[in-house]
Amino acid sequence: MARLTAVKRIEKERNNVITGPELPCVTDKSKDIEECNVPIEYIANKMHMSKAVLRQMIIHNMFSFATYRLIGKKTIFYCSSKLLYEQRGIIYDCK
C-alpha cells in the first residue's frame, strides 16, 4: 500500500515538472557557471518538491542533470550545476 502511494506521488510530481516551451531560454551565461555538485535540498526547494521524490525521480532517470551510484547500501547523488542551469534555469553558486 505504501509503495502504491509513493508511485502516485512520483507521477503527480512528474506532471508538475516544467517541460517543453516553458523552459527558460539558455544564453551564453552557462559558460560562466562553475561546475560543482548541487545539494538535493537546494534543487528540491527550487523545484517545489520533496527531497525523497526528487531522489526517486533521479533514480528513475527522469532528469538528465543528475546521476547516482550505489556504493554498498548507500546511494550517492551527483547533480551538475551547469546542466541544472541549462535544463531548468536554476542557478547555484558553487562558492
Compute CA distances 6 → 12, 19, 45, 83, whole Å.
Answer: 10, 22, 19, 27
Q: Is residue 46 included in any domain, yes or no? A: yes
Q: Is residue 62 included in any domain, yes or no? A: yes
Residues across the chain: 95
pLDDT in tens, the chain (95 residues): 555 676 676 666 666 655 444 555 545 566 677 889 999 999 999 999 999 999 999 999 999 899 999 999 999 999 999 999 989 889 898 88
Q: Supply the pTM of this predicted model.
A: 0.65
Q: Is residue 8 included in any domain, yes or no? A: yes
Total domain count, the chain? 1
Q: Is residue 45 included in any domain, yes or no? A: yes
Q: Is residue 93 included in any domain, yes or no? A: no
Hey, how many other C-beta atoms are within 10 angstroms of the C-beta on 57? 18
Its domain, for residue 31, covers: 2-88
Q: Is residue 50 included in any domain, yes or no? A: yes
